[in-house]
Amino acid sequence: MKGTKKLKISKILLWTIFIIYIIIVMGATLVDRVSGYESVNLHLFSSYKDAYNSFSIGEWRNLILNILMFVPIGILMPLLFNKFQQWYITYLVGFVATLFIEILQFISKRGIFEIDDIINNFLGCAIGYGIVMFFISLFKKKKSLNILVYQIPLIVSIISISVIFINYHK
């Protein structure tokens, strides 16, 4: 760097948070699991059907945690790298990261390869991206339709889960 660039404390903090986040995700998805899983679930939305039919709090918790687990990727990547402020780059990395975890779970037999997990994690990444881009747009004082478009995954998720819970309660 030859003294031309200075490290910003905010970047160091973001990188620290990012590294801790990666360690926690890898621990939760691979390390903190018993081995012996050998199944693949390619049935689309089967975990949602199971959660709805049994209305098990544990099932719903797992679905929501799978979504929330990737929100930080959607938030941190655009803050760490300007290129990730393009939605397609962040979405691609979110998809590849979740696919990587699912493949590692399958190979190590420490989890079930599930299409629903990929969808949930990807949705979490999109929600995180929408949140961070909303604030970035506010700070840059950009007023555009994109601010609302970024919020679609979050709005659809909240409405869908609310409708399911209200419908089930009735």
Torsion of Cα atoms, 81 then 82 then 88 then 93, to 10°: 0
Model confidence at 3, pLDDT cuts 50, 70, 90, reads low
pTM of the predicted structure, to 2 decimals? 0.87
pLDDT at 1 over 60: no
Q: Which residue spans within 85-157 are E strands per DSSP?
A: 113-114
pLDDT the model gives residue 148:
78
Q: What is the pLDDT of residue 160?
A: 87
* Across 75-80, average pLDDT: 96
Which of 2-11, 25-34, 89-98 shows the highest mean pLDDT? 89-98
Average pLDDT over residues 106-130: 92
Of the listed ranges 1-5, 48-52, 112-116, 159-163, the least confidently predicted one is 1-5
Question: CA-CA distance, 86 to 110, in Å (whole number)?
Answer: 33
**Integer Cα distance of 53 and 122 in angstroms:** 24
